[in-house]
Structure 1
C-alpha cells in the first residue's frame, strides 16, 4: 500500500485556530470597550439634552437654561433670572461619571436658549462653542453652531 505524506492543514485544524484567535481578539477588545461605550453614551445624552432644551424653549416660548456643573450638565426653565437649575424647574440632567470622564467647554458660564431656539446672543453674536468629553484614551467633541444645531466629532 502506498502512503501519502500530508503537507497541508486540514479544515478542522484551520477552524480550531480561527476559533482560538477570535476568542483572544474578543477578550482584548472587551477590555477597552466599556470606557469607549461610556464616552459615546454620555456624548449622546449631552447632545440630547441640548436638543431637548432647544425644543422646550421653542415649545414653551420661554428661555431654557443649560447649566454646567462639575459632576453634571442640566437643563431647566430659569425662575426669576436665576443662573443655576433648581430641582423644581429641572427638565433634564446628565451625570458625568467623575472618575472615568471629564469635560471642558468654551461656552459662557451657562448657556441660555431663547424662545426662538437659538443660543442667547452675546456681544459678538450668538453663542456657539464646543464641549469636549474625555476619558483616558479618547476625546469626543460636541460642537454647537450659532444656529443652535449640535454635532459630534472625533478629533
Structure 2
C-alpha cells in the first residue's frame, strides 16, 4: 500500500473511531505543562508542513529542505531542554511514542537532504516521509 493512501486511510479510520466514541488509542498521560508544550509544538509542526508543501509546489525544493531541517529535523530536537522538567514532553512520553517522535525528526532531516539536491521527483517522492511519523503517533496515541 502506498504511503499517501495509508495515511489517508489511517486518518479516516482514526476520525471515524473518535466520532463513534470508540477511541482505542493508547492514552499518553503527560503533566498539564508538558501536554501544553506538546500541543503548541504540534501546531508549529503543522505550520512548518504547510510552508514546506507551499515551497515544494512552487519548485523551491532547497528552501523546503531548509525549513524541514530547522523546524522538524534533527536540528529541531531538544528545543524544550530549557523548560522546567514538568513542561518537557519527551521525558513523560511512553518510550514507543518518544521513539516515533525521534524517527520523525530523522525522517525530516532525510527529506531535507533529498530536497537540498534540488531533484524534483525525489523531493516529491519523499514528502510522505514528513508526515508518516505524525500519522503513526496520532493513530496510536492520544493525550485525552
- TM-score, structure 2 length as denominator? 0.41
- Between the two structures, name the one with larger relative contact order (CA 8 Å, sep ≥ 6): 2
Larger radius of gyration: 1
User: Higher helix proportion, which one?
Assistant: 2
User: Higher strand proportion, which one?
Assistant: 1
